[in-house]
Chain A
């Protein structure tokens, strides 16, 4: 039984929304709210990883009275960004870490770890380096890490945003099994449709208006007759120790086209995007953008974790060079002041993703590739990304969008491809 009374997470002076709930053993409750509404902070506070006001009781015991080791074996937290959770270099070692830290018997720890990997469909990858896993596979791994200690309370933070349909099914089944054993599940999500399983009840969080990021309009510079033409023929690529992942990549795309790329976790979508933007060099085959090899700044790639793109302190510092280059409209005094006092570090994950996509789209690349651009985004931010994609295409870019969000891909793309057996197959 998990009881939250007037719970408000705290980060410095910021306070999250008040949450009251009483969640029974073996229940699934969805915590629903848009980006920036305080879902992650609330979960972290319930896990005892963030300061809080109010109270959290687990099986009638106040959170602050539970000793640390008991708390950690009782409550598991699954973060939205799996890369932030990984502390080891191999798949099995990663799952073993939790039981090891809690002092579990090695044999028992190994048995449970293998079972947890089996449950999320990663048993065959046990001996692989973690860096060989795709974003979706990492999310499955992190779920295994959270289930391995058989927690009484499982806190899931929108942790299936990059998982393919098979993975979602496996994760839903694994959580379902835990629920049958009496685990209480609190699962945060920005959109109820994205939930991997049906909740018993829903807690809705209000929208924090301050979180909404307003950005100046993109401009069309003079002489904007950009005519991009991207062509890939028989492109092959493999990573050392992994083997050939891309076996015969063929694609012709012209200015103004939006190409959607889907496929299961680990199929090579990210690798395909990196090849098509010149971040990886093909080992065989031909890859040309307007007759020469694609490379930045003509072809730009937004990674699944867009944070490295945001290198400045404030939003205005990021935008200033674009205003100076007349790539975006000059904001009015009020908006400029707002952007100047908005540090990047204060932006939520959703706003950071939107800002990163905006910064790249504004530069008018010939090819713009967005990798899982809507992962963890609410509907408003997803629509913003969709508008950016269409706008970039209308300004003459070839836009490549890789995502597990099939409805998003279908809604923005002119053509949709699926990565199958190292090839792009048009759907």
Chain B
């Protein structure tokens, strides 16, 4: 019975597939120079996120949170063009949102240590693979901490309403960075207390591939080829 438990895969998408798919989506959206051409890439990113994360509300929340960043970058690019290229505003907004949705595959579809196991299985050094895995653990924690930080800031009257969050990015970021640094320190102590040595560390179980993992790469690769050729 029990040895089967070691074969259970936690990631909804294989970590390597997710990494490749996100890299291809990022490349495609960077290649596209027009808003219309960018929309199919964003749609692909959204569909893959929906299939992997299966929580439309979560995707919508993150898309909304990054809205000011997309608009801000767009406005900056518009001003840098001497006020001549207004189309840069929607283009950069679409780029940012596409990346946010694509990143969902890695942030919510992949289990942190399975990402490290997968990289290790490729022959990458233990310190590198485990660092990526631990960074992923910290990312997941930061995503969870964000809600706590926002709730705390609302309690202290620093954020008046959910909409107000969009204009208080600096305050939220400062509190989140402090919380993330504290979290990183705790994780470091926890790993040390349990004898973690990146050089000696060996994964305890495999991370099997499935048909859908391959399909995600094929879809992302197709979008990339279309973007590159057209």
Chain A interface residues toward B at CB < 8 A: 47, 49, 68-69, 71-73, 76-77, 79, 81, 83-90, 92-93, 96-103, 106-107, 109-111, 114, 126-127, 131, 145, 240, 279, 295-297, 300-303, 305, 307-309, 311, 321, 359-360, 363
Q: How large is the interface on B (under 10, 10 to 19, 20 to 34, 35 or more residues)?
A: 35 or more
Instruction: Name the distance in Å between B222's Cβ and chain A's nearest Cβ.
Output: 31
With a CB–CB cut-off of 8 A, which chain B residues contact A96? 204
Q: Provide the bound-state CA to CA distance between A89 and B114, in Å.
A: 10
The answer on a CB contact under 8 Å between B5 and A307 is: no
> Which positions 46-64 of chain B face chain A at CB distance < 8 Å?
55
With a CB–CB cut-off of 8 A, which chain A residues contact B3? 106-107, 110
With a CB–CB cut-off of 8 A, which chain A residues contact B202? 100, 103
The answer on a CB contact under 8 Å between B179 and A101 is: no
Which of B5, B111, B190 touches A87 (beta carbons < 8 Å)?
A: B190
- List the one stretch of B18-26, B34-42, B95-103, B151-159 in contact with chain A: B151-159
Between A and B, 25 residue pairs with Cβ closer than 8 Å are A69-B195, A69-B200, A76-B193, A77-B193, A84-B189, A87-B137, A89-B137, A96-B204, A97-B196, A98-B195, A100-B201, A101-B196, A101-B201, A106-B204, A109-B204, A111-B2, A127-B8, A145-B194, A279-B151, A296-B154, A296-B157, A297-B157, A308-B149, A311-B175, A359-B156
The answer on a CB contact under 8 Å between A101 and B197 is: yes
With a CB–CB cut-off of 8 A, which chain A residues contact B55? 240
Can you add 18 more A-B contacts, CB < 8 Å, to A86-B190, A107-B3, A131-B144?
A: A47-B193, A49-B192, A69-B200, A84-B186, A87-B134, A89-B111, A89-B113, A93-B10, A96-B204, A101-B191, A106-B3, A106-B6, A126-B5, A145-B194, A279-B151, A308-B148, A308-B175, A311-B178
The answer on a CB contact under 8 Å between A69 and B152 is: no
Instruction: Enumerate the 8 nearest inter-chain pairs by beta-carbon distance, A residue then B residue, closest first.
Output: A72-B195, A84-B186, A296-B154, A308-B152, A100-B204, A101-B196, A309-B152, A300-B155
The answer on a CB contact under 8 Å between A296 and B192 is: no
Q: Provide the bound-state CA to CA distance between A73 and B178, in Å.
A: 32
Q: Provide the bound-state CA to CA distance between A303 and B154, in Å.
A: 13
Closest to A107 in B: B3
Which of B155, B158, B191, B194 touches A301 (beta carbons < 8 Å)?
A: B155
Instruction: Name the distance in Å between B161's Cβ and chain A's nearest Cβ.
Output: 8
> Which positions 124-161 of chain B face chain A at CB distance < 8 Å?
134, 137, 140, 144-145, 148-149, 151-158
Q: Provide the bound-state CA to CA distance between A83 and B3, in Å.
A: 28
The answer on a CB contact under 8 Å between B175 and A90 is: no
With a CB–CB cut-off of 8 A, which chain B residues contact A79? 190
The answer on a CB contact under 8 Å between B193 and A72 is: yes
With a CB–CB cut-off of 8 A, which chain A residues contact B192? 49
The answer on a CB contact under 8 Å between A68 and B2 is: no
Which of A76, A297, A301, A308 touches B179 (beta carbons < 8 Å)?
A: A308
With a CB–CB cut-off of 8 A, which chain B residues contact A279? 151
Instruction: Name the distance in Å between A346's Cβ and chain B's nearest Cβ.
Output: 14
Q: Provide the bound-state CA to CA distance between A300 and B156, in Å.
A: 9
Instruction: Name the distance in Å between B149's Cβ and chain A's nearest Cβ.
Output: 5
Which of B5, B144, B157, B190 touches A92 (beta carbons < 8 Å)?
A: B5
With a CB–CB cut-off of 8 A, which chain A residues contact B174? 311
Which of B112, B148, B193 touches A49 (beta carbons < 8 Å)?
A: B193
Closest to B146 in A: A308
Closest to A85 in B: B190
Closest to B57 in A: A240
The answer on a CB contact under 8 Å between A90 and B111 is: yes
> Which positions 182-224 of chain B face chain A at CB distance < 8 Å?
182, 186-187, 189-197, 200-205
Q: Provide the bound-state CA to CA distance between A363 and B154, in Å.
A: 12
Q: Provide the bound-state CA to CA distance between A301 and B156, in Å.
A: 10
Closest to A368 in B: B155
Closest to A313 in B: B178
Name which of A88, A89, A99, A145 has the most chain B CB atoms within 10 A of its CB: A89
The answer on a CB contact under 8 Å between B191 and A87 is: yes
Instruction: Name the distance in Å between B53's Cβ and chain A's nearest Cβ.
Output: 11
Q: Provide the bound-state CA to CA distance between A103 and B195, in Å.
A: 10
Q: Provide the bound-state CA to CA distance between A107 and B203, in Å.
A: 13
The answer on a CB contact under 8 Å between B10 and A90 is: yes
